[in-house]
Structures are given as structure tokens and as C-alpha cells.
């Protein structure tokens, strides 16, 4: 029996043309570089920046990003 659910996201999510990103790195310079570079990419929305792992997890839970790039 089909309950209407599927493996595909709802149309509103599927039509979304941007990616939510939390930038995480312990280096201020690397965070700045990632923000600068990702900020120029069409379709990327930076929703948070974290200076350490704990902060990255907190922001990821709060913001539910699509991507959390990590340094090293």
C-alpha cells in the first residue's frame, strides 16, 4: 500500500536551487578563504561558520546544512 511517502524530497525541496553550507575550520584564515570562495558560487548559501568541532556540530544541528566542509 502506498502511503504517499517516497524516497524523493517534496517538490519544494527538490526545486531548491541552492546548497546550505556551514563552513568549519580551526584556522581563521581558512574560514575566511572558504567563505570568500564559496560566497562567489551561485547557489551556495553560507548559513554558519564554526571555529571548532563542537561549534560545527551545534551549527549543523541548528541550521541543518547540506554540506559542512572541514579543513585538513
How many Cβ atoms are within 10 Å of 50's Cβ, its own excluded?
Answer: 20
Residue 1: pLDDT band (50, 70, 90) is: very low
Residue 13: the pLDDT is 56
What residue segments make up the domains of the chain, in order of their start? 23-72
pTM for the whole structure: 0.73
For the record, the C-alpha cell of 2 comes out as: 502506498
Amino acid at each position: 500500500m502506498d502511503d504517499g511517502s517516497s524516497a524523493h524530497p517534496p517538490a519544494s525541496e527538490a526545486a531548491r536551487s541552492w546548497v546550505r553550507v556551514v563552513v568549519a575550520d580551526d584556522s581563521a584564515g581558512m574560514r575566511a578563504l572558504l567563505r570568500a570562495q564559496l560566497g562567489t558560487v551561485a547557489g551556495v548559501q553560507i548559513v554558519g561558520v564554526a571555529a571548532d568541532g563542537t561549534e560545527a556540530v551545534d551549527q549543523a544541528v541548528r541550521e541543518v546544512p547540506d554540506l559542512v566542509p572541514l579543513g585538513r
